[in-house]
Structure 1
Amino acid sequence: MIRLDRLSLGRLPVVPGARTPRCSTTGCRSCRRVVWDMARPLNPFSPSFGVSPPVLAGRRPPLSDFETVFGNVRSPSYATLVWGLRGTGKTVLLNAFEDRAAEQGWLIVSSAGAMPSGLLDDITAKTSRCLQTFEAEHGRRPGRVVSGISLGGVGVQTEAASEADAVPAAQHDLESMLVSLGDALAERGTGLLITVDELHAADVSEIRQFGGVFQLVSRRPERPIAFAGAALPELEDRLMTGPAATFLQRCNRYEIGDLSPSDAETALRVPIETAGGRIDDAALRKAAEASGGQPYLVQLIGADMWDECTDPIAGITIDDVERAVTDSVRKFGEHVYAPVWRRLSDLDKRFLIAMLEDPGSTSIADIGRRWQHDSRSLSRYRQRLLSAGFIAVVGRGRLAFVHEAARSHVARQAADEGWLEAGT
């Protein structure tokens, strides 16, 4: 063990396994004494958006269905769409799809709906690079060009393409590149997976165009080209009834949500034990319960309670969990709800603040009475807040915050912005 005293934390190098012990006199972490315990395992959790957790718990059904694409070109999972609220692990599930595809030797093109260059241009550029890399590794195989048509018969005569006839891959449009790549991969028993994250942010016309190309080159001729997309629930309202609906409705669709209590416990316990740590049963139940099964919050609580614990190898206790939960819930609100809160209208915010008066669920009639609106006029605010992920329907005419972190964030923002003093 190396001990350094009275040094500025900001000037110290980053050392794997470093930890800052709680000050014995103040109970805080702000003292300048730093202890490096090189025997302490690194924190095994990954509380970052889109970063795959050490254990992907509770997502076996969509993964199992997706894996059928590798042995069956007619699998309905060749076009898969997953959606859910922020922090439920949509991007992580796409990562898992990509990992499974890579294990099978498939090529992968990853894009996102909010690409500055546009969705189609991004997929086209990446497919071009993918095709060029494939040709460089396997050698360009001469294609076939039409040399004549026999009107009296039924055949089309072809001959081998010359180098002069070959069009550079970068100049191919998306359809022709996917045809070339899909056919070449089929001969080698592999395929291509195209993934699009944040599909709800894409331009509707581009989704429609991509869907048309995908159907043309993949499903009808049964080329091994698969698609997987991820989106927020607002996709249902904005796209599923619009011009892009045909393609999206044909996708194998999964709505992913919170983990079950047992899956949340697994997602916490296994990384701890794999890293050489321990957690007692009461602490594990407390942490899983505090997470509400929310996958991102599970990772936040796991990471914070590991850091709170003086010695994870000896065991994480319920006291460590209780100290971690408060900070984890605050960070969860800042990361998940703050961006959405900033986009809400004042009337949307008033709706949420009116719900704070009830410790549990709230009836829409009570909100209308407090707000002096009839329940029918509240329906549009209700629907927007459902799509935004702040509230959920918990019974006929009754709503509740989706998580205690949502309630806490609304209460904190209402106080900070002066809503409570002004009244709702």
Structure 2
Amino acid sequence: MTANPYTPGQVPRVFAGRAAELRRIEDQLARVLTFGELGGPLLVFHAPRGIGKTSLLRTAQRRAEELGFVAAWVACSRERPVLPELVGSLRTALERAEVLPRGGAGGVWRKRLERVSVEVGLPGAKVAAEVASPPGEKPDDTLGLAPIHALGTLLHDAAALVRRRGGAGLLVLVDELHVALPDDMSILLNTLQNLDGDREHNPLAVVSAGLPVTPEALTRAATFGERSAFVPLDVLNGADARAVLTAPAEEAGVGWTEGALTAVVDEARGHPYLLQLIGSGTWDAARPRRGSKLGSPTYDAGCPPPSSS
């Protein structure tokens, strides 16, 4: 028996479909890569749960890193502000990519990241002047309350640092955006609005995902949130649904009978999570070996394969 290659509730091992949506992301990355400028407005994919939003973002993250981007990932939560999490993720991404300066300058960067993560997470907190000042320069004491300025400067400097060190730029990925606090949404939107005013010097892109309520939540957080690029995700078409099932099995040296494949695709109706769930249940029930096929005369008769329940 070979290991079950299906991953219901997790990012799939083999990503299939969503070619048009991936092109939307790749278009933004190409703009950053080619011109060294902001990839475009906030890109927001929205759909009900189980449609594959997180898998899409994770696939985009892998592709971006292959192109030389540093990618920072954050998932929003109702229990805590997301901006400190974003700054922490940015620090981890920069360290992993080994682009932070060495020596004293690197220490300044790390202190700066720590300070931002604290200040943007405290409503009404004063953002320290050194946060918004480039490393090595004297802080500007006139900044006062400036979370938008601080976050914008940090994203600009981090993206420019990646570019100077030979990378393509910075990609920020924000999952579960619909549960972000309104203040965090407002700060993020205003930050991107300010960066767009000087887009030629900001080599970064921001891509997000959330439930169908996300566009309304962003518009409430800031009126110009409607300028974001909203892309709804639908269920998979027949060809992509079949690929979700066949591609992982083929990597394990296992095939599907046509009857079993058709039965699962019809049962799941293009829902990525159900495809993974039924595929996983079928695999566990069949316990296939390399070179075998998932299916039986029962499946070929048109009956759905066993579920995992």
Q: TM-score, normalised by structure 1?
A: 0.56
The answer to whether the 8 Å contact 1:91/1:230 transfers is yes
Of structures 1 and 2, the one with the larger relative CO (CA 8 A, separation 6+) is: 2
| CA deviation after TM superposition for structure 1 residue 246, in Å | 1.6
Partner SS for 1:72: helix
Which residue of 1 is the match for residue 124 of structure 2? Answer: none
| CA deviation after TM superposition for structure 1 residue 315, in Å | 1.8
The answer to whether the 8 Å contact 1:309/1:320 transfers is no
- Is 1:293 paired with 2:270? yes
Runs of 5+ unmatched residues, structure 2? 109-133, 141-146
- Is 1:62 paired with 2:21? yes
Higher mean displacement: 89-98 or 251-260? 251-260
Tell me the number of residue pairs that the alignment of Structure 1 and Structure 2 aligns.
264
**Which of residues 80, 92, 99 is equivalent to 1:134?**
99
Q: Percent identity?
A: 27
Which residue of 2 is the match for residue 279 of structure 1? Answer: 256
Which residue of 2 is the match for residue 230 of structure 1? Answer: 209
Runs of 5+ unmatched residues, structure 1? 1-39, 144-160, 331-424
The answer to whether the 8 Å contact 1:261/1:293 transfers is yes
The answer to whether the 8 Å contact 1:308/1:320 transfers is no
The answer to whether the 8 Å contact 1:78/1:225 transfers is no
The answer to whether the 8 Å contact 2:263/2:305 transfers is no
1:202-248 deviation per Cα after TM superposition (whole angstroms, max 9, x unaligned)? 111210111111222356333111101111012244x154133423x
1:326-348 deviation per Cα after TM superposition (whole angstroms, max 9, x unaligned)? x34x5xxxxxxxxxxxxxxxxxx
Partner SS for 2:100: helix
- Is 1:82 paired with 2:42? no
The answer to whether the 8 Å contact 2:25/2:207 transfers is no
Which residue of 2 is the match for residue 209 of structure 1? Answer: 187
> What CA RMSD, in Å, does the superposition of the two structures yield over aligned residues?
3.1
Residue type matched to 1:61 in 2?
A
Q: TM-score, normalised by structure 2?
A: 0.74
- Spell out the pairing of 1:348-367 with structure 2 (5 A cutoff): none
1:109-163 deviation per Cα after TM superposition (whole angstroms, max 9, x unaligned)? 211221643012222333345556632469849x9xxxxxxxxxxxxxxxxx995
Which residue of 2 is the match for residue 351 of structure 1? Answer: none
Measure the CA separation in 1 of the matches of 2:284 and 2:92.
43
| CA deviation after TM superposition for structure 1 residue 293, in Å | 0.7
Partner SS for 1:276: coil
| CA deviation after TM superposition for structure 1 residue 95, in Å | 0.4
Which residue of 1 is the match for residue 171 of structure 2? Answer: 193
Measure the CA separation in 2 of the matches of 1:324 and 1:139.
62
| CA deviation after TM superposition for structure 1 residue 70, in Å | 3.1
The answer to whether the 8 Å contact 2:43/2:230 transfers is yes
Which residue of 2 is the match for residue 309 of structure 1? Answer: 286
Which residue of 2 is the match for residue 100 of structure 1? Answer: 63
Which residue of 2 is the match for residue 121 of structure 1? Answer: 84
Rg larger in 1 or in 2? 1
Measure the CA separation in 2 of the matches of 1:162 and 1:263.
48
Partner SS for 2:4: coil
Higher mean displacement: 253-262 or 214-223? 214-223
